[in-house]
Amino acid sequence: MHKKAGKWLTLVALLVTVFALALPGPALAQFPERSITLIVPWSPGGSGDMTCRILAAHMKKTLGKPVVVKNMPGAGSMVGAKALADAKPDGYTLGFLGISAVIAQYTSVSPVMMDQYQAVSGVINPPLVCLVNTKSKFKTFKDFVAFGKKNPGKIKNANAGAGVIDHLYSSEFGKVAGIKFTQVPYKGWGPSLAALAGGHVDSMFVAMGPAKALIKAGKIKALAIAAEKRYPAYPDLPTMKEMGVDITMPFWESIVVPKGTPAKVVAALDKALKAAFDDPSTKKKIKNSGLDVSYMATAEIVKFRQASDKKVEEMVTALGLNKR
C-alpha cells in the first residue's frame, strides 16, 4: 500500500514538474530596463564631456532609455575610473576612459588597472601634431628637426605636466629624432598652448582639437602630424614619417564597462554607439562643437588598447615615472 502511494506521489510530482516547465514563464529581461549612467572623469565643458553628451543623446534613441552623463573629475581620471571599476557589471554604468587612464596605471599611487574594465567602443581622436608659434623661425618640420639635432637643449618644449601624454610622446619623439628638448611643464594643455602662442616656448606636441582655436586665430601652426598616413581632415599636413621621423602618436578614448559585463550587453551598447556615430545629425553636432572623433568597434579597440598599454609602459619607465 505504501509502495503504491509512493509511486502515485512520484508520478504526481513528475506531472507537476512537466506542466510547470510547459507553462510560459516571464520573458527574459531586455537590456536596458532603466537609465544608464556614463561616467566622465573630467569636468563639464571639456572635449571629452562634450563628446559623451552628444553620443549619449543619440544612444537614448537606439536603446530606448536615457544615458545620463555624470562628471567625476579628480586624480587624473582615477576618481571616475575607480567608480566605474566598483560598479556592478550589468551595463548600467559606463565610463569614458582612454590613454590618460592607461598612463595613470603606472604614474598614480592608487591606480585603477586596465584589466578592471573592458572596452565597448573606441572614440578616436586625430594623432598628436607638432606645433610652433606662427612667428617661429621653424617654417617647416624639417627645419625644426634639423635645428634640434644641431642644438641640443635649445628647443623649449611645452607640456601639460610630467607623465601627461604630450610629455611622454614629445620625449619619445626626441629619442627617435635625435633631439634633446628642454621640457617646460605647465598645468594642462590650456596654459601650455597659451605659452606657445605667447612665444614663451618653442614647440608643443598636442592633439589638434585643443589647438584649433589658436591655429585659426593665426597664433600657432602645425608642422606635422604623428600618423601612419595623412589625416583626411588635414590633407595638407604632412606626417612625421614622410618627413623622416618614424613615429606615431595615437590619441584615443573609449567607452568602457566594468569587467565581467555580459557579452550581449556589450554588443548592444556598441551597436548604439555605432548608430550614434553613423547618424548625420550627430556628425553635424560633433563637427559644430569643434570635435574631431571617430568610431572604432569593440574588437579593434581591444587590440588598440593592448598595444597602447605596452607602449605607454615603455615610455613611462624610460622617463623614470613608473610607480609600479
Closest CA to 208 of 227, 191, 181: 227
* Segment 273-301, tens digit of pLDDT: 999 999 999 999 999 988 899 999 999 99
- At residue 19, the pLDDT reads 44
Centre a 10 Å sphere on the Cβ of residue 182 and count the other Cβ atoms it contains. Answer: 12
- At residue 127, the pLDDT reads 94
Q: How far apart are CA 313 and CA 91, in angstroms?
A: 29
Please give the domain boundaries of the chain with CATH numbers for all domains. 36-125+251-318 (3.40.190.150), 129-225 (3.40.190.10)
The yes-or-no verdict on residue 85 having pLDDT over 60 is yes
Q: How far apart are CA 16 and CA 252, in angstroms?
A: 57
Sign, CA dihedral 141-155-76-112, equals positive
* Segment 183-223, tens digit of pLDDT: 999 988 899 999 999 999 999 999 888 898 999 999 999 99
φ and ψ of 118, to 5 deg: -125, 150
The yes-or-no verdict on residue 22 having pLDDT over 60 is no
> Do 111 and 78 form a contact (C-beta atoms < 8 A)?
yes
- 217 burial level (CB within 10 Å; 0-12, 13-18, 19+): exposed
Mark out the alpha helices in 117-164 (DSSP H runs): 141-150
- At residue 57, the pLDDT reads 97
Percent of the chain residues past pLDDT 90, beyond the cut? 80
- At residue 166, the pLDDT reads 94
pTM of the complete model: 0.84
Q: How far apart are CA 117 and CA 261, in angstroms?
A: 9
Q: Is residue 26 very low, low, confident or very high in pLDDT (cuts 50, 70, 90)?
A: very low
Average pLDDT, the chain: 91
Q: Is residue 2 very low, low, confident or very high in pLDDT (cuts 50, 70, 90)?
A: very low
* Segment 236-252, tens digit of pLDDT: 999 999 999 999 999 99
Residues 149-156: what's their mean pLDDT?
98
Q: What is the secondary structure of 203-272 as a DSSP string?
A: EEEE-HHHHHHHHHTTSEEEEEE-SSS--TT-TTS-BTTTTT------EEEEEEEETT--HHHHHHHHHH
Closest CA to 251 of 274, 285, 216, 226: 226
Residues 62-77: what's their mean pLDDT?
94
- At residue 14, the pLDDT reads 46
- At residue 47, the pLDDT reads 87
> Do 221 and 215 form a contact (C-beta atoms < 8 A)?
yes
Residues 157-184: what's their mean pLDDT?
96
Grid cell of 174 as nine digits: 626626441
Residues 87-104: what's their mean pLDDT?
96
For residue 33, give Cα distances in angstroms to 69, 211, 258.
17, 41, 18
- At residue 38, the pLDDT reads 98
Q: How far apart are CA 301 and CA 253, in angstroms?
A: 9
> Do 94 and 256 form a contact (C-beta atoms < 8 A)?
yes
- At residue 1, the pLDDT reads 47
Q: Is residue 324 very low, low, confident or very high in pLDDT (cuts 50, 70, 90)?
A: confident
Residues 65-77: what's their mean pLDDT?
93
- Those residues whose C-beta lies under 8 Å from the C-beta of residue 315, and which sit 6 or more positions away, are 168, 169, 171, 172
The yes-or-no verdict on residue 8 having pLDDT over 70 is no
* Segment 36-66, tens digit of pLDDT: 999 999 889 888 999 999 999 999 999 999 9
Q: Is residue 7 very low, low, confident or very high in pLDDT (cuts 50, 70, 90)?
A: low
